[in-house]
Each structure stands twice: as C-alpha cells, then as structure tokens.
Amino acid sequence: MTVSGFTFNAFSENTYLLHDATGQCVIVDPGCYSRAEQEALRSFIETQNLNVVLLLNTHCHIDHVLGNQFVVDTYKVPFLIHEADAATLRSVPAYAPSYGFPAYSPAEPTGFLTPEKPVRFGETELEVRFAPGHAPGHVVFYHAPTATVIGGDVLFQGSIGRTDLPGGDFETLIESINTQLLTLPDEVTVYPGHGPATTIGAERRTNPFLN
C-alpha cells in the first residue's frame, strides 16, 4: 500500500490517499475546501490513474471533513465514519461560517466503521482501531504489511491530540494511545492529521506526553 499526502485548509490538515497495485484508492479525511485544493486532489488522482472506491474519516472535526461532499459528489463512493462521531459531524454546519468556511456543504455517511470489520480495497486490508479521546468516535487505520498507521489527531510528532473540544477527554486519549498505538511495533510509521510523519518507537522514547 502506498500513502500519498496533501496538506489542506487553514488548519494545515493532512489528507491521505491510500492506494495499491490494483489502482484502487481510499481517501481519508479530505480537508480540501477551496477550488484550488479540490483540483489538486482531483489532478493527482487522474494523473496516477487511481480508482477512488471509498471515503473514510478518522474523526469529524471541521478541518478533516471540509472536502467530504466534494469527494462524494465527484467519485460517487461510500462514506464511512465511526457511529460515535455522527454528532460531531452533524455539528459542523452550525460553526463552519464562524471558522471562515461559509460554503461548507455537509455529506451524510452511508455506513459506519467498527473494529470488528476491516476496511478492504484492492489487495489491501486495513485494521480499524477505536481510539477516542480527541473526538468521541475517533478511529485509526493500521496496515500491518507496510507497518503504517493513518492516525488522525491522536498522536503527533512530539505531541498528542487536543482534548478541550466537545467530546474530548485527556485520560481517554492517553488510554487510546497506550492500548491502540503503543501496542504496535516501534517501526510502524504514523501518518498524523497535522504535521510530519513519525514512528511509534520515536514517540515511545521521546514524546513528553507519554513519559
């Protein structure tokens, strides 16, 4: 599996495309809001000859969902979140204009993610790990063969997700990190929702919130 990343919107949010040798592609957390951002995503997909088959959200804070409707409209694909984050998603239209996104258009999920059901596309299978604390329905996606985690806003290089937003809880987040991420091998690369990629081993050794 190959991970291709884009950084979008005023929050410098990381959007990821996951694709494999079959050309099938999953879009995770599309933060593209402006026309230029949308075209950058679409152009990459076209030039790489990718076939988008699924849209996933790790969680549903505004910076991670701005491009959901664009992806659904453009590629006509299923859209999945964890059910515990449905209220988070539904709350976005009420505050989007005050954050500078007056043209935000909400998309409705077509189904829900659960840890019991892996995400499959092409030749790839992703393990769904429930990791609340930053958001009530936060999940991360683990691909063991390439030692990769798409981590959303749970664990960052030298930091962790904020817990002062509605539905956030510090102790819950630390428990999620300890049980869902730090149980993975040190060599696993974490692709976070903001900032550069890191590894489980590096954060285990040096992250000040975990030591």
| Domain boundary assignment for the chain | 2-206
Residue 117: closest CA among 70, 56, 203, 207: 56
What does each C-alpha distance from 195 to 14, 90, 111, 145, 160 come to in angstroms? Answer: 8, 26, 29, 24, 11
pLDDT computed for residue 135 by the predictor? 98
What CA–CA distance (Å, rounded) separates 81 from 5?
20
pLDDT computed for residue 211 by the predictor? 80
The structure's pTM equals 0.97
Spatial CB neighbours of 115, under 8 Å, sequence gap ≥ 6: 127, 128, 129, 130, 139
pLDDT tens digits, 112-141: 999 999 999 999 999 999 999 999 999 999
pLDDT computed for residue 162 by the predictor? 97
Residue 119: closest CA among 137, 142, 135: 142
Q: Specify the DSSP element, H or E, that contains 149.
A: strand 148-152
Cα angle for residues 157, 85, 87 (degrees, 5° grid): 135
What CA–CA distance (Å, rounded) separates 37 from 19?
20
pLDDT computed for residue 62 by the predictor? 98
Can you say how many angstroms the Cα of residue 42 is from the centroid of all Cα atoms in its chain? 18
Burial of 73 (0-12, 13-18, 19+ CB in 10 A): exposed
Homologous superfamily, domain 2-206? Ribonuclease Z/Hydroxyacylglutathione hydrolase-like (3.60.15.10)
Bridge partners, 111 (sequence order): 80
pLDDT computed for residue 97 by the predictor? 98
What does each C-alpha distance from 39 to 7, 104, 151, 185 come to in angstroms? Answer: 13, 16, 25, 37
Phi, psi of 64 (to 5 degrees): -100, -5
pLDDT computed for residue 199 by the predictor? 98
Pick out the chain residues at pLDDT < 70.
none
In the chain, % of residues over pLDDT 90: 100
Q: Specify the DSSP element, H or E, that contains 39.
A: helix 35-47
